[in-house]
Amino acid sequence: MTTEVSISETPLGETGRTWFAPVLAHGTLVCASNLDTRMAFLQAGGFEFPLTVNDEEWENSWFCSPWTHYISYAREEIARAVASPLAMVAGAAFGAIGTWFRRAELNRAVMVNNWLHSTNPWPAWSGRELESALAALRERWPDHAVIFRSLNTRECPDLLVALRSAGARLVPSRQVWYYEPDSAEVSASEEFRKDVRLLQRGDLKIVPHEALAPDDFNRLTELYTQLYIRKYSGHNPRYTADWLRHLHSKGLAKFTALREAESGFVGVEACCELHGVLTSPIVGYDLGKPRSLGLYRRLAVIPLLEARARNLPLNLSSG
């Protein structure tokens, strides 16, 4: 790929073409019903970065909406975490702030390195072409803010320095949990060993990626929806079965499912690798099952084991 800076309507690299094939053919709603955005692609420093471009779309998932991330999602979290009277006060305050942000057109933004997942690893880009990249983005979308997603000091320290030098404002997003595959602390953890034993106990069948069929993904998507949408937040992406099926069939994510003899699939986890970093964007389980079954603990240890097996760092984002 050229080292010059350019912007294209479709991806030039093989990874991008494979990853976004259904999106380019049918639009982003094929991925998730609350990801309404336009795609473009930035080429800089020999790398390609997917861009999402939005104007308003106030009901979008936080992946594409600063409004949802910092207003709607935050208001929901506060309401869940604090007592009702205080939540009402906080809700009113966020309502006032939100009104101002709407007038300020907060959602008029181009997000850089947005793979339509919660965690978007960065390549080893020095940021040397950053000024040229910013100039190209501003020329193309002069009325939009430019937002770089998923920045952290482990993966992109040079880019962070370049962004600071360019006058970027660093805005906190969330805590990042990062695991190295050779972490002695994790290996020595009794909780880790306990979770591995639980996963391997044998009462639930571990169904590997290659044993999953296309028809299984309606149920696996329902399990994701139970956890991430119904329990956590409707502001998370409402991924479709078609999108999960695509990630599976093209080998873009490695799926592992848990199956109970009587009731079928009860849990699912998927790991993705981008730029030599592992993430875990898909987790779901049957909320109707007893907590004593330990479904979440079983699923949460899978990416740790995968990171060790593949000798890759694991970015679990906020958990």
Look at residue 308 and give its three-state secondary structure. helix
Amino acid 80: pLDDT:
63
**pLDDT tens column, 56-89:** 777 788 888 887 777 766 666 665 655 566 556 5
Q: How far apart are CA 86 and CA 197, in angstroms?
A: 42
| Average pLDDT estimate for 155-159 | 95
Amino acid 104: pLDDT:
46
Mean predicted lDDT score pLDDT of the chain: 91
**pLDDT tens column, 286-309:** 999 999 999 999 999 999 999 999
Measured torsion, CA atoms of residues 272, 147, 78, 58, in degrees rounded to the nearest 10: -100
Beta bridge partners of 26: none
Q: Which two tokens stand for residue 87?
A: 């939540």
Per domain, the residue ranges of the chain are: 6-65+107-165, 178-315
pTM to 2 decimal places: 0.90
Domain at 178-315, CATH homologous superfamily = Gcn5-related N-acetyltransferase (GNAT) (3.40.630.30)
